[in-house]
Amino acid sequence: DAKTTQPNSMESNEEEPVHLPCNHSTISGTDYIHWYRQLPSQGPEYVIHGLTSNVNNRMASLAIAEDRKSSTLILHRATLRDAAVYYCILRGNTGGFKTIFGAGTRLFVKA
């Protein structure tokens, strides 16, 4: 499975934008870039995903580099509720389409 690299932690102020980076230099052409987050004491939660183009949804935006070797999850206005571990994951056509979690980035949001 292709690997992703994320910073261990990041800090943000409430109501400011947050840019969470992810490197995935060994991504294959059929890998989708998924982002999930895990709030304290909860199960992982889907945030957003994309293949080549930038994506927006009600939770966040995903900016994908032209060579697809990196991506950035953008939270437009961080709230205290966004404090969580954010996982950047590649999902491809391997058996079962499983999700392999790394350590993720722990986001701290200051009031």
Contact residue for another protein among 79, 94, 108, 110 (CB under 8 A): 94
Contact residue for another protein among 80, 102, 108, 110 (CB under 8 A): 102
How far is 104 from 44, CA to CA, in rounded Å? Answer: 11
The answer to whether the beta carbons of residues 106 and 17 sit under 8 Å apart is: no
The structure tokens 């949001």 sit at 109
Q: Which stretch binds another protein (CB under 8 A): 9-17, 25-33, 58-66, 68-76?
A: 25-33
The answer to whether the beta carbons of residues 87 and 44 sit under 8 Å apart is: yes
CA of 42: how far to CAs of 2, 45, 80, in Å?
26, 8, 16
Instruction: Confirm or reject binding of residue 43 to another protein (CB under 8 A).
Output: yes
Instruction: Confirm or reject binding of residue 97 to another protein (CB under 8 A).
Output: yes
Q: Which stretch binds another protein (CB under 8 A): 9-17, 19-27, 40-48, 68-76?
A: 40-48
Contact residue for another protein among 14, 21, 72, 101 (CB under 8 A): 101
